[in-house]
Every structure is written in C-alpha cells, then in structure tokens.
Amino acid sequence: VILVSDNLIEVSNLRKSYGQGDSRVDVLKGIDCKIKRGSICTLLGPSGSGKSTFLNILGGIESFEEGSLMVDGLELKNLSKKDLLQYRRDKLGFVFQFYNLVSNLTLKENIEVGAYLGKDPLDIDDLMEKLGLVEHQGKFPNQLSGGQQQRTAIARALSKSPTILLCDEPTGALDTKTGNQIMQLLVELNKEGKTIIMVTHEPEIAAYAKRQIVIRD
C-alpha cells in the first residue's frame, strides 16, 4: 500500500539564523505549517521578515539548522547536495521578481532552458500559445515588456512540469494591472492542479490565494 499524504509540504519548528556570535540574526524562529497538494498559498510579511529565506529553504537553495521540512515525502534536512540538486530539478519551478531571464537568449530559447532540465518536459509551442507568447518568441528579453518577461519566466518554470511552483514577489516589479494579470494566470494554473507557493508583501496580491501564511518579524 502506498499512502499519499494530502499534504505536499509539512514544516515543523523550522529555525534559521544567519551569522554567529554577536552578529547572529535569528530569521525564522520556529515555523509550523502544512500546505496541501494542489493548493495556492501566499507567504505574507513585512520586508526583512524572512519570506525569501523560507522560500529558498523550501527550494533547497538554503539550509536550515533545526526542525523538519517534508516535501512530497522527502525530508530535506537529510538530503545530500546531489539529492537536493535532483530535488530542485525534478520538483521545482522558480519564478523571481526580476524574471532572471538570460539576456542573450530569445524568449523561446529561455523557455527551452527550463524544458531541457526536466525529465518529462511540456511542449514549448503549446506553452507559448497558452501564455500568449507565440508572436514574441523570437524577441530578446530587452525587447519585451515586464509582463511579457514574467510570463516567459513562468513558462520557463512550467516547461519542466514541476510539482511545485515557487514564486518570489512575482508581481513586485510590475504595475498593478499587469500584476493582476500575472496573478490571474497563476490562479488559472492552480485550478489546473499546480501547487503554487508565492511570496508577497502586498495584501491585495495575497488575497488571490485561498490560504495565507503570515511570517512575523
């Protein structure tokens, strides 16, 4: 019998600090939460409260000292560097505030980079069609608007068909209207089954998600 938990992510008493001795800063002071498979959830909190730190820990980019973090049946604390790399490749798609596209690759090539990393990549033409990017596919990032760049970054993250989409302030560099369009896109992707975890400090953006996890200072 294989038991598949309803919870994709289970965090208990997770602690993280930076620095040592007098310069030690305790950033995450015992986080407990569960995130359901197929849900959309925002991490909300003031600047400096540790939202990015928590997202990066979920993403296997940062380590943590204490507590437990289970993602899809894996205890991240126990994974070797190599296994963490595999975890990031197989399960995660990342979307950032400033898109992080490769400037000398076209829109389509940027998406191909993501697909190349996946075991079971999605069809890139379908993805561009879905995200309204087909007519721009030959352009370079500096020829695209902020919204188009972010949709490209989302397509790149989705192209490897990740279990979880982690987004760090994905609307932070966009005007309100474009930001709302990006949120509608994320909500739509969630309805199709993608688990989405998103950092924001804007309550209006957080309101798009059914579930909010607030990180306090």
Which residues of this chain interact with ligand ADP, rule CB under 6 A?
Answer: 18, 25, 27, 45, 47-53
- Contacting range for Mg ion; rule: CB under 5 A; set: 29-37, 50-58, 150-158, 187-195: 50-58
Q: Which does 25 bind (CB under 5 to 8 A by kind): ligand ADP, Mg ion, none?
A: ligand ADP
Q: In this complex, which beta carbon is closest to ligand ADP, that of residue 24 or of residue 177? A: 24
> What are 147's two structure tokens?
């919204």
What does 50 bind: ligand ADP, Mg ion, none (CB cut-off 5 to 8 Å by kind)? ligand ADP
Distance CA 152, CA 141 (A): 9
Residue 53 binds which of Mg ion, ligand ADP, none (CB < 5-8 A, kind-dependent): ligand ADP
Identify whether the C-beta of residue 12 lies closer than 8 Å to the C-beta of residue 68. yes
CA 62, 205, 41, 185 dihedral sign is negative
Q: Which residue has the tokens 């579930």?
A: 211
Taking CA atoms, 56 is separated from 16, 23, 126, 193, 198, in Å, by 11, 22, 29, 22, 11
Please state whether beta strands 66-71 and 164-168 pair in parallel, antiparallel, or not at all (unpaired): unpaired
Query: Judged by CB, which is closer to ligand ADP: 35, or 58?
Result: 58
Of 45 and 144, the one with the shorter C-beta distance to Mg ion is: 45
> Do the strands 40-44 and 92-95 form a parallel or antiparallel pair, or are they unpaired?
unpaired
**At closest approach, how far in Å is the CB of 5 from ligand ADP?**
27
Closest approach of Cβ 2 to Mg ion, in Å?
A: 37
Closer residue to Mg ion (CB): 114 or 170:
170
Where on the chain is the footprint of Mg ion (CB under 5 A)? 52
